[in-house]
Structure 1
Amino acid sequence: MGQLSLILGLALTLAPPSSAPSDIVEITSPQPPAPSEIVEVATPAPPASELAQPVETTTPSPALAPAPVANPDADAAVEGAEQPDEDKQGKPDSEAKKAKKPKKYEFKVGARVIAGGRLRYIEPRLDSEGSRIGQPERKGSLQLRQARVKVSAKYLDVLSAKVSLEFSDLLGSPSAGDVLRDAWGNVQIHPGFQIKVGHFKRPYSRLELRGVSKVPMIGRGLYNSVAIEDLSWGDRAVGVALWGKLEPMRPGLHELGWSISASNNALAGAPNGVDAHARVTYDPTAWLSIGAGGAFKHVQDSLANEADCLAEWKRDASCRRNVFGATFDLVFRVKGLYASVETNLAQDWLFAETSPWMLGALAYATYDFEVGKKTRLQPIVSGEFIDTNLSFSESEALRGVAGLNILWTKRLRVMPQAQYVMPMAPVTSFNHFVESWVVGLWVSVQL
């Protein structure tokens, strides 16, 4: 009996295990086999292919080891390999990435309406002796200041175009230059070098270059109405412009912009000739912007005989006037504060036989108070000085504006404002302006 036990012990020692000697086998193995089963353990060893399988003695404990999976892709996912996934809409990642790529073509349609009511008081005009002519005007009225529709298109960052029409001008006796605002195309060779052709704003006054949706007050002021609109030193015209903007975002040069243009306000009935404008803006920091520019007009003299001047290719010196303009401005942006100061100069090419200089200086400031996620209160104050003829002393006036705008996102603006214009003494008929004040409430809706 002792010999039989010794033989059985040696057989158990020499026989290969039927499975890997892991903790899993020990936990899940049944009770020790009966003696009759032990005899079967001494059968010949299994093939070498089976002996090569149980090498997983280094597998983690059952609490940490993942369940065996036959799919190799699933194993790769456990190792952190990138696998196809689905976004919130159930689209694979490849489709989601395609959807996030910038579109080659962009097409936008927008509209803006500004309407309101006002009370206006205007002193009567004066004669050459300074006496009033007629009675003062007191009037309350509803006003449609703007009803504009614009269409813009873009191809990548290379080509862009815009057309806008002002339908409020149809209430009067409009000309083509009134109804048509923008009609231009732009080619971007580089952000710092672009070409624009068509009907567009010329680079002159910073306030004039700001869009209506960004100008916080009703009207752009006295100098704007006389020099930029009546004398066509700014505003829109037909021409070509070279311009660009660089944003290196480094100390000492936050942004740099430049523009030069050649144009003529032909749609508004301007006389023959050509206008040249140039402007540079330099932003040393995010809170400061400096702008400066110049302008030149080679324009037909209003006193010359147009028929005689057009009869010859080579114009006589009396047919043309060469006049100049200049502008300088500063803008400060600190948190909710926006403050702007600008000074503009231009020659009056319609004045008699000479072209005297006119001067306009304007400053305004706003501060945005957040009163909700989408709502802001924006107080506005503005002051302006104008001298329409620096050669005479009876041509100066002051203008003041105050208001409290209410803004809801970029869609709605409620603009209660008051304006006062006062000509400076001595007041004569030579002055463009008379005493007046306007109190009004305007609402701007933008789509």
Structure 2
Amino acid sequence: MSSEGVRFEASEEFARRMDAEDPLRHFRDEFLFPLHHGEQSIYLVGNSLGLQPRKAKPYVVEALEDWEKLGVEGHFAARHSWMPYHELLTEQTARLVGAQPLEVVVMNTLSVNLHLMMVSFYQPTRERSKILMEAGAFPSDQYAVASQVRFHGYSPERDILRLTPRPGEETLRTEDILETIERHGREIALVMLGNVNYLTGQAFDMAAITRAAHRHGCRVGFDLAHGAGNLLLSLHDTGPDFAVWCSYKYLNGGPGTLGGVFVHERHARNNALPRFEGWWGHNKQTRFQMGPDFDSIPGAEGWQLSNPPIFQMAALRASMELFDRATMPALRRKSDLLTGYLEFLLDRLPPGFVRIITPRDPKQRGAHLSLRFSKEPRKLLEKLTAQGVVCDFRSPDIIRAAPAPLYNSFLDVYRFAGVLEGHARD
């Protein structure tokens, strides 16, 4: 089997050769791996919590030292002054998601940002009240959407349209999503999808969905929790109204760290949009005049509420610098090969042991594969953990494995498949 002209081989020699030829191989040394019996674990769960960059600690320590030495003056006199600290991430974030700097801001956490965006972009009317989403969306998204619908006095049972796969299929078909938009477009106020489904690993055609929804007058938003730092995104050109994401998965910002927001440029100066307002979204030139009337910063920054937590941003800076150096096009090329190699090796395991439910088409997936095992998956995961393999389990029967291209290697993938083969023959 081959991918992008590379013919895969099921051998350690091949994996080591691929690693030696990998132009991104040196980025692995920028991260700290959990150890298993003194050796680096096989860490394939970057889609849940990314590894710690080596520079995260010194960057956080720098901010702590400035606080210690400068107190409140650190807002202006710190080595990286705190007042504009979030701006250190703006251009990097814009490049990461294919946006203009005006369109992005790092702030809050994902579910908070999703609520803030729906305040602005979900404005139901009697004729157009529905939200279209995946039936299998991440639970927090389902809770947020249902609560927004109820907040406006509508019924989640009636006003949330849930996309489900065809009988006997695991993932959604693009034509079915588009047909639903075509059929219900006049009733839909907001199309709100995760651009990569957390459970199946399916990546949706954002451009086609956005075009179809906008043609019917619907607003469009995406949850990029499993897309940012994973897929090659072009949010400005694709044109959704908004997107939100977290930074602790592929972006390696640390547990519970800040998320990001994209608001398309066409909304940058639309002060007629309803929004929840806070002082950090106020005009920077007059913010400290402490006036009573809100004057929004143009662009995504205008949705900010509070001054940001510096220590979390410091840790995220360490990772975002690495993404900026590596570039998303290069990371996607490697990711397609890594995940393709994992798929190739899994297909060689004894028949019936494992089934990949993530789409086979690389254009419909990112780094992670969702796997159904014929043997008890919970017990299998425990065995993998005992052997230094870190994956995760999603109820009722799925193990997810995600070779993250910024720090995972072909040898990681080969060794993981070897461990699985041992259990397949038990």
TM-score under structure 1 length normalisation = 0.21
Which has the higher relative contact order, 1 or 2, with Cα contacts under 8 A spaced 6 or more apart? 2
* Larger helix percent: 2
* Larger strand percent: 1
Larger Rg: 1
TM-score under structure 2 length normalisation = 0.22
